[in-house]
Structure 1
């Protein structure tokens, strides 16, 4: 099973999680909602994959590793979009700002392979109420080949009219770029996020 950054993974056995020290909030979160998210780092030699544990607060994020035998089902952000999983939220949760714009986002991004991540993706998969009234919408776009800069600028312009801040990562074969850092940039280089750490790239559209 291939697990990628942003994939949501149900942990079949919490004993398969490895971390130097798990905070109390992380242990409580896992007990209530045994899901972790794939993070951008190198796997261990024994095949354990890098994952992140989410808490209830924005600053509650903890890095860990999950042994292969602890991987239950996994769902990619792209599957969330394909299945339009936001439509399964309760009527109350569909009233949140992020939930209310999801159909419009899907319409604007119909020509892209994309999916929600962050609190929105987590809630759509697990049912845990992770989104808040003030939540941003985090999105990942799969870009196996170079993306046209003008097309990306038009997309971002349309999304910015929806009233909720939308942060987009472009997942390329070598790592990820932040769309807002690419569009309208003035610097000669831009940051590429890789499993080995960030590095500056001169021409990301190649």
Structure 2
């Protein structure tokens, strides 16, 4: 049976952490039941999933690890889009971001592209805990296991730039993630954020050894 691979930004509900580390004062193990951890980029270790623990404000972040056995629930950024729960969140916690997500969804559908929500908006949509605010960024990702045509990407970026709230879009490839805005505005190399650290490449889908 193939081991399930979690992508950066996936949300995991777990019943314990992988190591007996010294956790910050604002974190309590009982919080894990209601507050998922976020998969982060880090070098691969056997059955140790690198995650980040979120607190109640931006300064409260803690890097940790969990095992696959500890995971009892898993939501991807793309599944959050499928649920479309920002419509109900608008009723309980009004923010302009929710209406913007409706506009973004329309744009992505017109390009027939799958997209996901990450960051504080994703955390709030997944938990109903009011973690987003007026200053929150709209962080998105596009899963692109194969090459995304640059002309299509440029048209998409142009459409998104017309929105009053401009999203920050990362394109996730097998090598790592890079910014849509950087890619469409440069003819040279782009910065890839990988599990081994950042690196520059002219082809985000191909290693130098390929």
Matches within 5 A, 1:158-177: 158-177=159-178
Q: Cα 1:123–1:85, aligned 2, differ >3 Å: closer, same or farther?
A: same
* RMSD, aligned CA: 2.1
The residue aligned with 2:181 is 180
The residue aligned with 1:96 is 95
Matches within 5 A, 1:1-206: 1-11=4-14, 13-14=15-16, 16-18=17-19, 20-27=21-28, 30=31, 33-45=34-46, 47-89=47-89, 91-93=91-93, 95-110=94-109, 111-185=112-186, 188-204=188-204
* Unaligned segments of structure 1, at least 5 residues: none
Q: Deviations over 1:22-60 (max 9, x none)?
A: 211233893583310111113323x02001111222232
How many residues are aligned here?
201
Say if 1:148 and 1:205, in contact at 8 Å, map to a contact too. Answer: no
Whole-angstrom CA distance in 2 between matches of 1:28 and 1:166: 33
Say if 2:170 and 2:177, in contact at 8 Å, map to a contact too. Answer: yes
Q: Cα 1:44–1:73, aligned 2, differ >3 Å: closer, same or farther?
A: same
* Unaligned segments of structure 2, at least 5 residues: none
Whole-angstrom CA distance in 2 between matches of 1:99 and 1:54: 21
Q: Cα 1:90–1:162, aligned 2, differ >3 Å: closer, same or farther?
A: closer
What is the TM-score of this pair, normalised by structure 1? 0.88
Q: Deviations over 1:143-166 (max 9, x none)?
A: 111112222122122212221131
Q: Cα 1:157–1:29, aligned 2, differ >3 Å: closer, same or farther?
A: farther
What is the TM-score of this pair, normalised by structure 2? 0.87
